Structure 1
């Protein structure tokens, strides 16, 4: 039975609900001005990012940075940020819980 208990703990630890929260990104400040630190929009027209799919957020941020999405405000806000920084931001926002 100890083996089954260990397996259960491994499964629970790997599930999103029990996974460790990602560290707060160093570049969160400018994003939080519009999207909120926890991913809930602070201004009208800004989308909520909390709980969005990680792969979607990661790709959207790359597209804004690279100019493939034509949004000058987002491109200016992101600036020349690295893939690692974009990944950190995407992980942060995807791990946040949407609020009603």
Structure 2
């Protein structure tokens, strides 16, 4: 019983440290989540999953969409005049998400 209590106490003490690893939910997440899902798993066909992508890749891709280097009008319109800080927050959020297996398509 003592071992179980010690293990439980250890887990309780570790929870705050684990919680700080997840970045704060971005304020601008709503529009992104409409297509890419709040946890980075696509909500519509053709939208890529962003969960677990590399932080530097996501950050650069978002900057390129915003600045027009990647010519995807839908993404440019969705991002609009987003600050570098907001882009960084979005990239950190999606890179910290864990990819989930997708359900098999129904025949």
TM-score by length of 2: 0.76
- The CA deviation string for residues 44-98 of structure 1, in whole angstroms up to 9 with x for no partner, is 0000000000000000000000000010000000000000000000000000000
1:58 aligns with 2:59: yes
Residue matched to 2:86: 85
5+ residue gaps, structure 1: 1-16
Please give the alpha-carbon distance, in whole angstroms, between the structure 2 residues aligned to 1:97 and 1:81: 25
Please give the alpha-carbon distance, in whole angstroms, between the structure 2 residues aligned to 1:69 and 1:43: 21
Residue matched to 1:28: 29
Please give the alpha-carbon distance, in whole angstroms, between the structure 2 residues aligned to 1:36 and 1:75: 18
Residue matched to 2:4: none
Please give the alpha-carbon distance, in whole angstroms, between the structure 1 residues aligned to 2:89 and 2:56: 12
Following superposition, the deviation at residue 19 of structure 1 comes to: 5.8
Residue matched to 1:68: 69
Structure exhibiting the larger radius of gyration computed from Cα positions: 2
- The CA RMSD over aligned residues, in Å, is 1.6
5+ residue gaps, structure 2: 1-17, 102-107
The runs of at least 4 aligned residues of structure 1 exceeding 2 Å deviation read: none
Aligned length: 85
